[in-house]
């Protein structure tokens, strides 16, 4: 009875908003390449093992009747129209699962998109020359890039048609997430020329400039106080929280200089950046870092230092002090921006502040009771918890999946799912590792199709779902029907739940969507029963590690089902403690995570 009551109590807190949070993003590092002949080859950049994405910079001339011009320094002979070495490097990078995008624009050059004709011409040119189309002139031959990056924020001109260009490029592509669109934007959204694009469409990735702008960058001149706190991050944190409260920002990356020589201001020393990331890495839509540029990174080894950073024993670590917790009203960033309700933004800001305070208190208590050595141990553990891991797209092996759950899941052909979803036309939602689409099989069965892709730990998410819920069944758990892992695809097929996720029913401004108390109790009871089954009634205990309203799905009669097991972990019955890296949602953080040792109790 105790276990069920405890689960009910925790679930009630979630539904009440006390533990409202966001999923931890995947740590990735990207870099811009192509603007310095001394930066080394593209292959050398990928072989360094530091990057999940490399942006080729730039296509500097396009639109307005101009002849398009690709300017990547002396890396290839553009006059011949054939960049064989770079093409081979792109192929090699993609083989290593590094995403390669082409950036259009840049700080110098001649370009503009001023008309519908420009949109059509530039879109067709990009598609046929660098992406999935065909053309007599393809500098990289038959190699297909992964996407297009918009770096047009620092030049004069109209932004309206860049949104149309993004839509036109999407219309060229077929299937889910076959073309990545990203944007490099200034940190003050009201000044961004791409605000129309950001408001209209949800990009895959947004690299936000947090340098060369004192209003929203790291301030190295701020002092570090005796208690270890600092105001160096105030402006940066304030701007970051605004970006991560937006609906359409996609996965948000901090774009930073890889050297103090790469920018006038805003360079963050690796030690300070590591601490800052330990606070914000669980922010909504956090993706990682985008560095300018490969040349500067090759000189300073900035990415490598971050990937292998270890805090000096006993050294004071300056913890960022947060700005005053002033609630953000809807539209405070941009009158036209579709923001979250102010109440939810306030909860996120409060949860972030609470996480910082909790960390400071834990370090202080450790110092008082256990002495300096224990504080050093805590810091070292934090280094392990927040150690950067390079994320890769995953190419799952069908035979291996069948061995995990032999005969229990349907192996779908990709074309079957294309037909069932009408070419992935109806999107139900989007998470950290992919999008979910509605579909109907030939026999009339309704399904939800989750396409995993992008810069993120797709392999772990795919296998975690298959291994945990692929062989179990409970009325309060979302049922995994099958999967597809043809070629580079990782797709999961679930039962369709018509009422969608719980967050849509409790975080809104529509009185008609309000749930009565009996329905709320029914949902609470259902979630608790699902957790009891996972923790106590399976052959192995299953820790979900990401319980939140977005991962609670509802049937037509409002029966609750726990879903999204991408972060889950199996625990043997004989094990009382399991070592794992920190994962899950911000808001409530079980003390167990500080030592990387957890049990299934972190769910409750």
Q: Cα–Cα distance between 273 and 289 in angstroms, integer?
A: 10
One domain, residues 329 and 471: no
Instruction: For the chain, give the percent of residues with pLDDT over 90.
Output: 31
Residues in a beta bridge with 215: none
pLDDT for 241 equals 85
Identify the pLDDT of residue 565: 78
Residues 74, 6, single domain; the answer is: no
374-431, pLDDT tens digit by residue? 433 333 333 323 322 333 334 445 555 555 554 567 888 888 999 999 999 898 887 6
Q: Give dist(CA 231, CA 324) in Å, integer.
A: 12
Each residue's pLDDT tens digit, 468-505: 777 778 899 998 888 888 766 788 899 999 998 888 88
569 assigned to a ligand binding site: no
Give dist(CA 303, CA 159) in Å, integer. Answer: 32
| Same domain? 10 vs 63 | no
CA 79 to chain centroid, in Å, comes to 39
pLDDT of residue 189: 75
CA distance linking residue 484 with residue 410, whole number of Å: 9
Asked if 242 contacts 328 with a C-beta cutoff of 8 angstroms, the reply is yes
Boundary residue ending a domain (356, 385, 414): 385
Q: How confident is the model at residue 542 (pLDDT cuts 50, 70, 90)?
A: confident
* Between 174 and 321, residue with greater pLDDT: 174
- Work out the pLDDT band at 230, boundaries 50, 70, 90: low
Looking at per-residue confidence, does 554 or 198 come out higher?
554
119 Cβ contact partners less than 8 Å away, ≥ 6 residues apart: 113, 161, 164, 165, 168
What pTM does this model have?
0.55
Q: Tell me which of 360, 385, 410 is where a domain ends.
A: 385
pLDDT at 120 over 50: yes
Claim to verify: residue 67 and residue 209 sit in the same structural domain: yes
pLDDT of amino acid 408: 62
| Domain span at 62 | 28-385
What local confidence, expressed as pLDDT, does residue 465 receive? Answer: 77
Note whether 532 and 564 are same-domain residues: yes
398 and 360, same domain (yes or no) = no
Pair (242, 306) in one structural domain: yes
- Identify the pLDDT of residue 178: 61
Query: In this model, does residue 521 exceed pLDDT 70?
Result: yes
CATH code of the domain covering residue 594: 1.10.510.10
Contact 481, 409 (CB under 8 A): yes
pLDDT of 568: 76
The CATH number linked to 69 is 3.20.20.80
pLDDT bin (cut points 50, 70, 90) of residue 175 is: low
- Which burial class, exposed, middle or buried, applies to 249 when counting CB atoms under 10 A from its CB (0-12, 13-18, 19+)? buried
- Given its phi and psi angles, is residue 180 left (phi above 0), alpha (psi -120 to 50 degrees) or beta? beta
Domain count, the chain: 2
What pLDDT sits at residue 7?
Answer: 42
Q: Are residues 254 and 360 part of one domain?
A: yes
Same domain, 344 and 376: yes
pLDDT at position 375, please? 39
Which of these three, 385, 400, 431, is where a domain ends?
A: 385
Lowest model confidence (mean pLDDT) among 254-258, 374-378, 478-482, 515-519:
374-378
* pLDDT for position 315: 46
381 or 80: which leads in pLDDT: 80
* Mean confidence (pLDDT) of the chain: 75
One domain for residues 114 and 214: yes
User: 490-500: string of b/e by CB count within 10 Å (b at 16+)?
Assistant: bbbbbbbbeee
| 282 and 215 within one domain | yes
Asked if 56 and 142 sit in the same domain, the reply is: yes
């Amino acid at each position: 009875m105790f276990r069920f009551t405890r689960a009910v109590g925790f679930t009630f807190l979630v539904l009440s908003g006390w533990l409202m949070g966001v999923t931890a993003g995947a740590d990735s590092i990207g870099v811009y390449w192509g603007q310095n002949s001394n930066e080394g080859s593209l292959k050398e950049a990928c072989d360094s093992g530091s990057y999940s994405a490399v942006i080729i910079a730039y296509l500097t001339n396009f639109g307005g009747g101009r002849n398009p011009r690709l300017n990547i320094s002396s890396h290839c002979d553009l006059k011949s129209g054939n960049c064989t070495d770079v093409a081979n490097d792109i192929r090699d990078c993609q083989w290593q699962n590094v995403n390669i995008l082409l950036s259009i624009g840049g700080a110098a050059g001649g370009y503009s998109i001023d008309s519908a004709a420009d949109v059509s011409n530039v879109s067709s040119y990009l598609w046929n020359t660098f992406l999935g189309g065909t053309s007599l002139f393809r500098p990289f031959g038959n190699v297909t890039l992964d996407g297009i990056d918009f770096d047009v924020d620092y030049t004069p001109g109209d932004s309206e048609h860049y949104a149309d260009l993004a839509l036109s490029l999407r219309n060229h592509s077929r299937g889910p997430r076959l073309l990545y669109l990203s944007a490099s934007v200034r940190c003050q959204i009201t000044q961004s020329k791409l605000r129309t694009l950001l408001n209209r469409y949800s990009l895959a990735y947004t690299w936000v400039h947090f340098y060369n702008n004192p209003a929203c960058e790291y301030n190295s001149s701020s002092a570090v106080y005796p208690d270890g706190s600092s105001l160096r991050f105030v402006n940066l944190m304030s701007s970051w929280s605004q970006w991560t409260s937006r609906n359409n920002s996609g996965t948000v990356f901090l774009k930073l200089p890889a050297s103090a020589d790469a920018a006038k201001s805003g360079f963050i020393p690796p030690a300070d950046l590591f601490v800052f990331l330990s606070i914000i890495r669980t922010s909504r839509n956090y993706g990682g870092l985008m560095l300018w540029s490969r040349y500067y990174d090759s000189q300073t080894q900035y990415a490598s230092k971050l990937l292998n950073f270890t805090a000096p024993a006993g050294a004071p670590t300056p913890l960022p002090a947060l700005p005053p917790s002033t609630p953000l009203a809807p539209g405070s960033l941009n009158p036209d921006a579709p923001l979250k309700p102010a109440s939810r933004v306030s909860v996120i800001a409060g949860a972030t502040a609470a996480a910082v305070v909790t960390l400071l208190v834990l370090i202080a208590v450790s110092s008082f009771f256990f002495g300096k050595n224990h504080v050093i141990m805590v810091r070292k553990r934090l280094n392990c918890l927040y150690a950067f891991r390079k994320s890769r797209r995953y190419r799952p092996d069908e035979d291996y999946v069948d061995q995990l759950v032999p005969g229990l899941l349907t192996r779908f052909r990709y074309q079957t799912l294309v037909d069932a979803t009408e070419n992935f036309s109806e999107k139900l939602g989007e998470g950290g590792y992919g999008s979910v689409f509605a579909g109907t099989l030939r026999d009339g069965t309704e399904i939800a199709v989750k396409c995993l892709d992008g810069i993120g730990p797709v392999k772990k998410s795919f296998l975690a779902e298959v291994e945990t819920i692929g062989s179990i069944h409970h009325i309060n758990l979302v049922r995994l029907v099958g999967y597809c892992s043809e070629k580079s695809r990782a797709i999961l097929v679930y039962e369709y739940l018509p009422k969608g996720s719980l967050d849509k029913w409790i975080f809104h401004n529509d009185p008609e969507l309000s749930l009565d108390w009996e329905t709320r109790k029914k949902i609470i009871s259902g979630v608790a029963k699902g957790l009891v089954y996972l923790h106590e009634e399976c052959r192995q205990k299953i820790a979900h590690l990401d319980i939140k309203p977005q991962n609670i799905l509802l049937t037509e009669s409002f029966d609750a089902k726990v879903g999204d097991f991408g972060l889950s972990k199996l625990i043997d019955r004989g094990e009382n403690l399991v070592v794992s890296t920190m994962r899950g949602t911000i808001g409530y953080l079980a003390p167990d995570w500080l030592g990387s040792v957890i049990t299934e109790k972190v769910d409750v």
